[in-house]
Amino acid sequence: MTYIRTIVEYGRSERSIDLPRFAADFARELGGKVLPHRSEFPSDGDRYQEIAVGDAKITVSTRWNERSKVTLDIGDLERPLNGAVPYGDQFKTPTITVSVDRPMKALVNDVKRRLIVPSFAPRNARRAYAAEKAEGAEQLKQVAAELRKQGLECRFNDGESYHGGLYYNKDGRYLSGRFYNDGRVTLERLDLTAEQAKKVFKVLGIA
């Protein structure tokens, strides 16, 4: 069976891959399913298809300079960190190119060997990193809540897991700095009277 088709447009014939049909057969042989297309443009279905296989998602894309090959990328079906991939080789999943003309069983075996199995370690690393970030974000919220009880203003971006901005401006007293998810505080500016400064230095053990 071939997935190469010939399309005639504007009096010219051109060979291309019937990607929806290939993706459907490929997904069936893998024991997965083709995911509904997210694009508003029907023609995008001829450029890429997404397949769910267990907890993984394989993206099948055509190559502009290849009429019989596709590129396969793999990631998690449920994307941690809103789909952002952390930097580092330990998080990098493989990408491979395969010919659609190969016998389907042989192709699937090749994909399992070169794409799916090698993706286990980096995908697990991504999940562990996402869990660590989520824990840090929760700790940061707890630290901010305690600081706010003391009358301080805390600011941090949604999803931030490490640090935020710390502020106080009242009765002529100003403070700014950073707070961290482990409870540490770094002061970048602190306006004190001479008497207040003496008390602070004494508490810090530097006077």
User: Are the C-beta atoms of 32 and 24 separated by less than 8 Å?
Assistant: no
Residues forming a β-bridge with 186 = 178
Q: Which domain holds residue 192?
A: 150-204
| Whether 161 and 101 share a structural domain | no
What does each of the 207 residues of the chain score in pLDDT, given as a tens digit? 788 887 777 778 788 889 999 999 999 999 999 999 887 777 788 899 999 999 999 999 998 877 899 999 999 988 766 656 788 999 999 999 999 999 999 999 999 999 999 999 999 999 899 889 889 999 999 999 999 999 999 999 988 899 999 999 987 788 999 999 999 999 999 888 888 888 888 888 886
Domain boundary among 133, 166, 184: 133
Q: What's the pLDDT at 116?
A: 97
Secondary structure (DSSP) of 47-65: TEEEEEETTEEEEEEEETT
User: Are the C-beta atoms of 17 and 2 separated by less than 8 Å?
Assistant: no
User: Are the C-beta atoms of 31 and 25 separated by less than 8 Å?
Assistant: no
Residue 71 lies in a domain: yes
3-state secondary structure of 33: strand
Residue 57 lies in a domain: yes
Q: What's the pLDDT at 121?
A: 96
Domain count, the chain: 2
| Whether 28 and 123 share a structural domain | yes
| Whether 121 and 19 share a structural domain | yes
Q: What's the pLDDT at 62?
A: 92
Q: What's the pLDDT at 143?
A: 96
Residue 140 lies in a domain: no
| Whether 68 and 123 share a structural domain | yes
Q: What's the pLDDT at 12?
A: 82
Residues forming a β-bridge with 40 = none
104: left (phi over 0), alpha (psi -120 to 50) or beta: alpha
Q: What's the pLDDT at 200?
A: 82
Domain boundary among 133, 166, 181: 133
Residue 145 lies in a domain: no
